[in-house]
Amino acid sequence: MEPPRSHGGSAPFRGVASSLQKEFNAMLFHVEMDVRIPHDIAAEKVDALKQAERVHAMELQRAGAWRHLWRVAGRYANISIFDVSGAQELHDMLSSLPLFPFMEIKVTPLCRHPSSIHDDDR
């Protein structure tokens, strides 16, 4: 599906609702996060960071930006799908996570596969 085009102007989204613009501008990213908290950090601080991380992650999920979140069995790691406007927004979100300083992160941009039968995977 092509994004709507304006008639008589070069701006493709002139007059189109911002939610529709986000739909066509959104990008999906596969993100792998491995958390490595140093052993010399006080347990109380680690607990507070984990609680803050949980709250922030849930907020991003409710907002629709953190679309999927899976734990990697046997590791303190997750695999996630983010639905954002681009790399800068993703970077801003990831760097806002309380555990970010202790993460090794791998990011892979995704695009829709032509053989996919799902309408919502862009």
In angstroms, the CA 32 to CA 26 distance is: 19
Residue 17 lies in a domain: no
How far apart are the two ends of the chain, measured CA to CA in Å?
9
Report yes or no on 21 lying in a domain: no
pTM: 0.76
Asked if residue 118 belongs to a domain, the reply is: no
Whether 7 is covered by a domain: the verdict is no
Structural domains of the chain, count: 1
Cβ(21)–Cβ(13) under 8 Å? Answer: yes
Write the CATH number for 58.
3.30.70.1060
pLDDT in tens, 3-61: 333 333 333 333 333 343 444 458 999 999 999 999 999 999 999 999 999 999 999 99
Can you give the residue range of the structural domain that contains 49? Answer: 39-110
Residue 12 CB coordination number (10 Å) = 13
Residue 45: inside a domain, yes or no? Answer: yes
Q: Which amino acid is located at 39 in the chain?
A: H
